[in-house]
Structures are given as C-alpha cells and as structure tokens.
Structure 1
Amino acid sequence: MPLFRICGDQKVEQIKTQAFSRERSLQRLIEKNLNTLLGIRFVASEFPTGDRQRGRIDTLGLDQDGTPVIIEYKKTSNENVINQGLFYLDWLLDHKGDFTVQVQRALGKDCQIDWSNPRLILIAENFSEYDKYAVNRIGSNIELWIYRLYGEDLLYMEPMNSVSPTKSRSTAPEGKPNNQDQSSGGTRNMIEYSVENHLQGKSPEIIDLFKQLQERIFSLGEDINEKAVKHYVVYKHGKNFCEVWIQNEKIKIWLDIAPDVLNDPLHLARDVTKVGHWGTGDVEINLENDAQLEPVFDLIRQSYQQTV
C-alpha cells in the first residue's frame, strides 16, 4: 500500500518503503511497543523450549484477556513460519507450568492466565494466498499480520486474516482455575465457551438486542474478531475495543477507551477505572432496549476507531 506525504501547495510525494536490517530489529521494535501495537503485555524474548524440543520462541506475551500469546517474526514469509509457530503453540500447551512461572516473574504472581484458546501471531512483510488458506483450514487461533516500514519513522501493521468466531476451549476442568494445569502431562480436558453459551437462558428480547448489537459491531470492519471467554464476549481489532456481558435483563458493555477521550453527550457511560469489573476496558455502559442501540453503538465506534 503506497503512503504519501502532503507537502506545500497541496502536492504529495510518495514515502518509499524501507527494510529492517535484521529480523531481530523488527522483533525488538515490536517487543518494546507490544501493548501499544497489539494490546499484549511482554513476558519474554527468545524463550528456550528446552533440550528435548530445541528451539527459541521469538516473543511470549499475555494479552488483555489473560490469554497466552506466541509471536514469531519473519522479514519475509517462508514455508516454515506456520509449521514453526504450530510447533511452539503445541509446546506451550504441554509446558503451561514453565509459561506460568515466566509470567509471574515478568508481570507479578497475581496475574491471571486464561488457557482457553492461546494465540499464535505471525508477523511478516507478506503472506501468500496459500498461507492464508492453510491457516483457515488449520482452525487454531492463528493470526497473520503484515508490516511495512516507511522512511525511517513510520510503521504500518495490518491483520491479513480474521480469526473466525469459533468456540473457545479451556484446558481446565469445570470448577478449576484456568491458570492451573491439572496434571504434569498437560492434559487437555476441554470446556467450550461460545456466544451461544452466553445466550442460553436469556429472554428473546435480550437475545434479539444482542444480535442487533453484534451485527452493528461487525459492520465496523471485516477484520474484527469475536471471542467468547468465560464471563463475556470480546471484540477486537488487533487490540480489544469492546467487551459484552449478556445479563438477564440488560447487556453490560465495557469500552477500551480513556474516559476523558470519549464523546458521550447523553452521559450513558461511567468511569470504572477504580471499580472492579469483568472487562478490560474502563468505560462501562448498560444497554437495556432498542432505543439505546444507536447512541451506545456510537460510543463503541469511538472505541473501535482508537484501534484503526
């Protein structure tokens, strides 16, 4: 995608693309800005996978919802990047204890980990149609991101595939904390979370209200991801911008936007920065009827635009 600078007299000049001198330069830049770029907390760099499964994971992180994240970088895409990433993802599921210890060292012992659906992010200058097809067929939580370096100080990043709103799988048995492995072998006794789970037992009015809200959220862009976790449904565009908790008589929404930035003329939102709540955002809204849909959606749109 060409990028142009607007100069004097309404003339434009194209900014030429540059290349990172080494793959490691790209990695260091993204690691230093993980939260800003992808909404992920940095855990470790070049993490060794041990003597039996020799390798080094480029970047380990924990996203806004407490989901483990593996990030692999390539200056250019090649045939091994997907297989390599899948190998590390499988290793992670079999070594949850090692990851948990590293998270506690980096982020503190109180940090919660949700093992329901670990993420694999692959970042390269380009991916082929075969790469995108393979990722869609595999069905794991794999994201392809492309980057461009313009000049010396402009970085562009864009997701190349949209992770389908599939059921999330928990590796912890019912009633057990998700951040604890239940056996030394890393058993995978799955609990499935889905949007349908959150709609069970709700009134037809609330279900219809959610469906209308869901349709509007997806209309914001083709690359929006929907993810059902234990207590709510997450909508993200790279980073979280909205979390939805479907209750019996209303829908509670949290927005990942600074309260003082939000334009809320009807005063529908409240600042919950210092109040305990499920979502990752610090702005809370209650949606109770159809009449509130449009003004509430306008607030959601503002949060989404922070990620574009």
Structure 2
Amino acid sequence: MILLKDGVEYIQYNYKYENELEKMVFEHHKEIFGDNTLLFNKSKIKTVANVGTIPDAFVVDLKNKNWYIVEVELKDHDIYSHVNSQIMRFLDAIDNPNTKKELSDKFYNEVNNEPFKEALFKTNHIKEVYKHISDIIDTNPSIVIIIDEITNKVKTGLNGLSKYHDIKTIEFKTFKRKNSNCLEEHIHLFNKLHTYNEEPPTNNGNADKNNNNNTEGNNKSNYTEEHHLNGKPNNIVELYNELKKQILNIGDDITIKPLKHYIACKISNTNFVYIVVNKSKLNLSLLIPKGNLNDDKKITADVSNTGHWGNGDYGISLNKNMNLEYIMSLIKQSYEYNKNKKLKK
C-alpha cells in the first residue's frame, strides 16, 4: 500500500514519546468524539482508599450525555504492567463519589473560565451548566484507549477488562512525507468513536432508512436475549429486564425479537424501538420520524444521520440513574405513532 498526497509519498511516523501523540490526539478530539464534546485536561482522581491516578484527559459529550476517561498510549508500553494497572485504578476511582463531585466542580470552573467551552453550552441551549455536568458525571464513563497501533498483544491484554467495563480502543496513526524528519506536513488515520453501537456499522445506518419492517436483513439466525445479555454486568441486565417489562405493559400486541446486533420491540411486523445492550448502558433507537417526538427534557439525540444499528431518528443512552418513567413516555410515543400508522394502511 502506498499513500500519496499531491504526488508525494507519505510513510508511517513512529511516535517516540507519548506526549507527542497526546498533542496530536487532543488537537483532533472533536473529530474522534464528536462536535458537541469538550476536552478537559489531566486531573488526579482518587479511589476510596485515597490512591491517586491521573488519566490523560476527560471528554464530556454534552448532547448524548456521555463522558469518557481518555488514556493515550504507545504500542511499546507493556499492556499488562502499565496500561491494565492504570485502567483498574481508573475504575476504582470512578466508584468514589468524592471523585465525581470533584470532577464536576473542576469541569464547571473550567467552563466558566474558558469562553469557547461556555459557548458550547449556549449552542446546545443548556442553561443549568453545573447540573448538566453533574448529571453526566454521575453516570458510568467509558474508558477510551487511543494508541498508535492496536497489536494482538494489546487486543489480548484489554479483552479481559472489557468483560467488566465499557472499554473502547482507537488506533491513531500518523503519516509524514517520505525523506522528511518533521511533522509539518502530515496525514492522520483514525476511526471516529461510534456513540450508538459497540462496533461500527457497515452501512452508516442508511440501508433500512425508508423501511422499518426490513431491518432484520442479515439477522435471520435464531438469536436470543441471552446472546445480548451474556457477559454484561448485573445492573445492566436488571435495567434491561425492567425496561422490557415496562415496554410489554404498554400493550398486548407487543413482542420482543432479539436479532444479531440489537433487540427489536414490535407491533406485529412493525418495529417501534431498538435496544442495543452495552456494558455500561442501553442504547435505544426510537423509530419515529424527526419532528414527531415530544421530548420536553431534550434527553434524546438526533441520530438521523449517525451510524447505528437499525434505524430511527432519535437515540437515547439509558443508564440506571436516569428517569425510566420519562424514558417510557418517549417509547410510548413511538409505539402510538407506529400503531396509528399501521391502522391507516
């Protein structure tokens, strides 16, 4: 494979220092995490036992109400003694209520002191800044490892921890002009973080856009709910079971259909909500066209142009700390919309 730009060949640049890669990653954090995200720099977090650890950064997604603990690494670092031990300390620290309070305070102060960060809250029509930050930090974050190369050793080393927490790995490669020793002209290669699925969709979510009855496509194998719940934490399994119970209580005509990548909730042959079970949350897609949902609290995200399993214009990241009663009011709207549409046919 040859990489050319304006007729000039580019070759992969090998980072020698972690802070060099870190600088490049932070410059492109919005391309990685999304336009509605803010990056907050290093800050010590402590476990209940007062053991301190310092992640490379924190990223807060204002629109989707997610947050990420970011660790930038080089492939040469020992995955077991260095990276895994850091991740374990991160996981212990975020279980400390004092840590979350301190982070909320720190992020709020940064927003007040940095106009461009404050501007993003205004752009998203968020008036209660501290409450919005605190509500996000009260949820469980994903751990995001950004590394210059995902080797087999890296995959194996992180696989065990990924069974117990939502850990995402992003490969970030840089290419420089051949025969040049500087990075003044360079090209980056990396994947965006897909907010609404555990693995990137192959069709950008558009293949089924005009027909929510044909989304089963390649999912005709006999999948079960256990296929989706296996290996997930108990709190996520309990959250799914409670959500399923309340959805079935909406009407006697509802069935649950597990497919390969998601669980569909159906009225006869018409789907009205999809559920993707992750390790730290449930991602919901409401199959109701944009502009037809009454969401007074504005907790849904516009995923009409975002890659995600199934289709649907509204997305919800559901965790145990959210108001399930309000979530159900949104799901009922999707149910009623699709039922009425079916009756009109």
**TM-score by structure 1 length?**
0.57
Question: How many angstroms apart in 1 are the aligned matches of 2:252 and 2:85?
Answer: 44
Structure 2 unaligned spans of 5+: 112-128, 177-184, 200-227, 265-275, 305-312, 315-333
Quote the residue 1:259 is aligned against: none
Letter in 2 for 1:90: D
Please list, as runs of the form range in 1=range in 2, the aligned pairs for 1:103-118 lying within 5 A after superposition: 103-107=107-111, 108-111=129-132, 112-113=135-136, 115-118=138-141
* Match of residue 101 from structure 1: 105
| Counterpart position of 2:175 | 150
Deviations 1:222-249 (A, max 9, x none): xxx754888xx42xxxxxxxx424xxxx
SS in 2 for 1:70: strand
- Find the partner of 2:285 among 218, 241, 244: 244
Structure with more strand by fraction: 1
- Paired AA for residue 44 in structure 1: F
Is there any run of 5+ residues in structure 1 with no aligned partner, and where?
Answer: 170-189, 217-224, 235-242, 246-250, 253-267, 293-308
Say which one has the larger Rg. Answer: 2
Structure with bigger helix share is 2
Question: Is residue 2:63 matched to residue 1:78?
Answer: no
- The answer to whether the 8 Å contact 2:3/2:9 transfers is yes
Structure 2 residue 253 is matched with structure 1 residue 197:
no
| Other structure's SS at 1:122 match | strand
CA contact (8 A) 1:61 1:68 kept: yes
Map of 2:56 onto structure 1: 58
* 3-state SS, counterpart of residue 148 of structure 1: strand
Kindly indicate whether residue 71 of structure 2 is the aligned counterpart of residue 69 of structure 1. no
Number of residue pairs aligned between Structure 1 and Structure 2: 230
* SS in structure 2 at match of 1:269: coil
- Aligned partner (choices 276, 279, 282) of residue 300 of structure 2: 279
Contact 2:104 2:137 in 1 (8 A): no
2: CA distance, partners of 1:118 / 1:4: 36
* Matching residue's letter, 1:84: Q
SS of match in other structure, 2:172: strand
- What does residue range 112-131 of structure 1 map to in structure 2 within 5 Å? 112-113=135-136, 115-131=138-154
Supply the RMSD in Å over aligned alpha carbons: 4.4
| CA–CA distance in structure 2, aligned partners of residues 229 and 271 of structure 1 | 29
The CA deviation at 1:168 is: 6.3
Secondary structure class of the residue paired with 2:136: coil
Change (3 A) 1:193 1:37: farther
Please list the CA deviations of residues 201-239 of structure 1 after superposition, one character each: whole Å capped at 9, or x if unmatched. 4257544478599379xxxxxxxx754888xx42xxxxx
Kindly, what percent of the aligned residue pairs are identical? 11
Q: How far apart in 1 are the matches of 2:299 and 2:58?
A: 24
Considering Cα pairs closer than 8 Å and 6+ residues apart, tell me whether 1 or 2 has the greater RCO: 2
Change (3 A) 1:54 1:226: same
Q: Which amino acid aligns with 2:150?
A: F
